[in-house]
Amino acid sequence: MKHTVILLTVLLLAPLAALPAADSYSRPNILLIVADDLGYNDVGFQGARDIPTPHLDCLAASGVRCSDGYVSYPVCSPSRAGYLTGRYQQRFGYEFNPKWDATAVTHGLPLSETTLADSLRSAGYTTGAIGKWHLGAHPQFHPNRRGFDEYFGFLGGGHRYLPGSVAEIGTGKKANKTADTEQTSAILRNSTEVPEVGELTTRLGEEATASVTRHARDAKPWFLYLAFNAPHTPLQAREDMLKKFASITDERRRIYAAMVATVDEVVGRILTALDTTGQRERTLIFFISDNGGPMTKRSANASMNSPLRGQKGDVFEGGIRIPFLVSWPARIPSGRTYSQPVISLDILPTALAAAGATRDTKLAALDGVDLLPFLLGKNIAAPHARLFWRMDGGEAFAVREGNWKWMRTYQNAPQLYDLSTDVGESRDLVTAHPEIAARLAASSADWNHGLIAPTFVNNPFGGLINRTGLEKNAKP
């Protein structure tokens, strides 16, 4: 496919004859793109009508849309710890966002865990990360020490988009003092601070496009992890993008739409770079959000998760079900929708299988599975018998088995839903099917026995936390 987006000058200068042939090696390049706090219904391929996303829609058309795609946690950092390790993050005590503190040696992805970048680099891949890190601010957690050869971005959980202010456009609203410091933290190239220039999402895209072009000439494949902070707050966008959405009367939704459209624009430029350099067919691309959109909570960004119930921070579908795309033109058929439940933990084993990479047998077992046989139609079974969630050290649990979903949230009674007829989780069937509820509750308890209590606690939003439960590894 060809895209009409204008490329950076560096692309126009790339001599295509010097690029390796598409079949010069069988292992694909791997590109993992993650949006931040993106609403389930806020991209075209999911049904959005007020935010055109033509490039993401094109990406969806080139591969498989996983309609029942999930993340392993409904909040930013634990979700990232899950998909970068392929393991439920509660297995290694990662259940909260880490403090923004460069001296905190426990607030980050444990050094005992092996990342996707570690494994792919060992398999001969060039590895790079661009954008949001949010897996620890202490130097020991730096991306360059977690398997990434190259890094450009910021280490915290958020960052302003426009240099000079953390205020949201048109509102004057600012983050709290601690978040203020995190939002204005250094932009780094590896460990060197670089000037903060231009709108951030656009700049991350420029870096990603340059990386794709630069490594097109390499004799070995590459892995690029592009983690946007958009459309996470603060709500800030380029003026030209805001003008495109002047018809949206709600100001916050208008800014949010401009931010999502900027992500789409950047994805288009990257796809064009892949096309122009002859790499698209042999590049395996994943696109997900790190969790559901936060519609009403403190980090609300005017997102929409309809028809799902709930939002970021919930184990209702709106907190954990996300837009989820997989594209690899050389291998995966295009234009398909896959409806079996899959989870972000599957990204790592799928990528390793595509790369022909093996993991050290001494490493802890993965919870994700290789999706390729399922997406290729070679295996018609469900990839997972069950998917599980635990939040806040045991304050909330959920499990999905087929179309059944059981959950318990904080002090509320257990609930049971049939997602095949009630994706909005509006009809609790616990009393109608007590035997199913009991079975799923028991399976959740069994799964929980393999987890540990959180190794650090950080709850800046003041949610309900049972301290005794944290210490005792609370049961469902």
Contact 301, 293 (CB under 8 A): yes
Catalytic residue from among 58, 66, 76, 232 = 76
Residue 258 near residue 42 (C-beta atoms within 8 A):
no
Helices and strands in the chain: count of H runs, count of E runs: 13, 16
Burial of 192 (0-12, 13-18, 19+ CB in 10 A): exposed
Catalytic-role residue among 3, 55, 107, 134: 134
3-state helix, strand, coil in the chain (%, to 5): 30, 15, 55
Task: Cite the DSSP H helix spans in 287-390.
Answer: 317-320, 347-355, 372-375
- 58 is an active site residue: no
Pair 223, 116: CB distance under 8 Å: yes
Burial zone of 116 (CB within 10 Å; 0-12 exposed, 13-18 middle, 19+ buried):
buried
Cβ atoms within 10 Å, residue 102: 14
Strand order in the sheet with 126-132: 192-194, 187-189, 150-154, 126-132, 222-227, 29-35, 283-289, 324-327, 64-66, 336-338
Which two structure tokens, joined as six digits, stand for 149?
Answer: 């050869």
Q: By C-alpha distance, which of 342, 350, 372 is closest to 119?
A: 350
- For the record, the structure tokens of 37 come out as 């706090």
First CA to last CA distance, the chain: 48
What's the rounded Cα separation, in Å, for the pair 418 and 426? 10
Q: Is there a catalytic annotation at residue 66? A: no
Measured in whole angstroms, how far is the alpha carbon of residue 214 from the centre of its chain? 25
Q: β-pairing, 387-391 with 396-401? A: antiparallel
Active site residues: 76, 134
